[in-house]
Amino acid sequence: MSPSFVRFGTDGVRGVANTQITPEFALALARATARAFRASEIVIGCDTRRSGGMLEAASAAGAAAEGADAVLIDVAPTPAVAAECARRDAPGIVVSASHNPFADNGLKVIGPGGHKLDDALQARIEALLSDGPAPVDVPVGASVGEVRRDPSALERYGDQVLAALEGRGLSGLRIVLDTANGAAHRVAPAVLDRAGAEVTTIGDEPDGTNINDGCGSTAPELLARTVVDGGADLGIALDGDADRLVAVDHRGRVVDGDHIIALCALDLRARGRLADETVVVTVMSNLGFHRAMAAAGIDVIETPVGDRHVLDALQRSGAALGGEQSGHIIFTEHATTGDGLLAALLLTDLVVRSGRPLADLADEAMTSLPQVLHNVAVSSPMPDVTDRISDELAAVVADLGDDGRVLVRPSGTEPVVRVMVEADAVERAEGCAERLVAAVEAVASRGGA
């Protein structure tokens, strides 16, 4: 991938490591980041992929070449990097492809306040990438940046997450934790153990190639079986960079981000801590979530897909809670970005305080409408896909009326178009989705026609 053609997606830049996301590109991105922020230091963390060390080293070299110290915190969750960026008031780079397969990798730039980049900053970094290295005034001698490691950053992050419990604990709660063989494989079990939970950990033996492989938040089947077979109270599954989660109740049923956000919104409001009685979610949230919030008198702000859009709306509105159905959840009182471990602590704290099973709480919080999601592979980007299938899209929306919802959008991280349909019956949702999939495939086969 040439720097002149790079574009940020909904969560940084991703691709196949060493062919698309190369050391040369990582070095260039770090240099551009240092120039964009005029940084004196850049925090760098990575997940457990084999290519992580390679790209971490290249990123560090790029930072140092621009006169910024590279502060390496090694294998660490995305929110741990964000927390360190906030503490140091420095930008950061996360070397991770999140939930993607291990052969992929990616680079996420985090701003000095610990927040993901807005569109203007992304455009600035893209422009600097296109310009290439600065031709003059490059640092020399003592002005070249240092590369150093800070092994205490992960411990500080763990302390910060635990502080959200405000002195409460999880004593007596039996949890199965799946760390996806990813970035939180050390810190997450340690934090839950310190909170007093009885923790059984799976997906905690990374070998460089098994991140997200049949485990983690995108593959919760193993977690569900382990919870049921072991008689645990609930399960928590993180993804590769631990910025999101899904839960599993004692019956083995998945509790997704919509349910977790609904539970936390109702709990925060009951305790007088839901600012303006408002919550922020994306267009992917289930219609059942919207109905549940309306019934509870909680306002909902809807954003495009991507937790940076959620965060932007949280900042503009002053709301305290937001997130995505996929499990990115942001608690603005405690963090600057989505944090799977933090959300796990606050969810399990809610369960302990209620004295009731997660299954009962989730059932009462909301009822999901049947949802069908198809990923339609495309050979080239289709940002105008909704315009190109407008007739069929309008017909499906009219057929569903108030009984369902439709969303068609190009993915920001993969070469696919996502077709999502919700309806009062799964058969109806599937039929409508198939119509839209056929329409997308038809226009995709015609290319630019």
**Top-level class of domain 371-445:** alpha beta
Q: Looking up tokens 């997308």, which residue turns up?
A: 440
Q: Looking up tokens 């226009």, which residue turns up?
A: 443
pLDDT at 422: 95
Q: pLDDT tens for residues 281-296?
A: 999 899 999 999 999 9
pLDDT at 1: 39
Q: How confident is the model at residue 5 (pLDDT cuts 50, 70, 90)?
A: very low
pLDDT at 169: 97
Quote the Cα angle for 294-295-296, to 5°.
Answer: 90
Dihedral (Cα; 202, 203, 204, 210), 10-degree rounding: 160
- Domains 3-151 and 156-365 alike in fold: yes
Mean pLDDT of 198-222: 98
Read out DSSP for 244-300?
-EEEEETTS-EE-HHHHHHHHHHHHHHTT-SGGGEEEEETTS-HHHHHHHHHHT-EE
Which pair of tokens denotes residue 74? 């090694």
Query: Any idea which fold 156-365 has?
Result: Alpha-D-Glucose-1,6-Bisphosphate; Chain A, domain 3 (3.40.120)
Output the pTM of the full model: 0.90
Which pair of tokens denotes residue 433? 């989705």
3.90.480.20, 3.40.120.10, 1.10.10.10, 3.40.50.150: CATH of 3-151: 3.40.120.10
Q: How many CB atoms lie within 10 A of CB 359?
A: 17
**Mean confidence (pLDDT) of the chain:** 94
Active site residues: 98
Domain boundaries, the chain: 3-151, 156-365, 371-445
Mean pLDDT of 29-40: 96
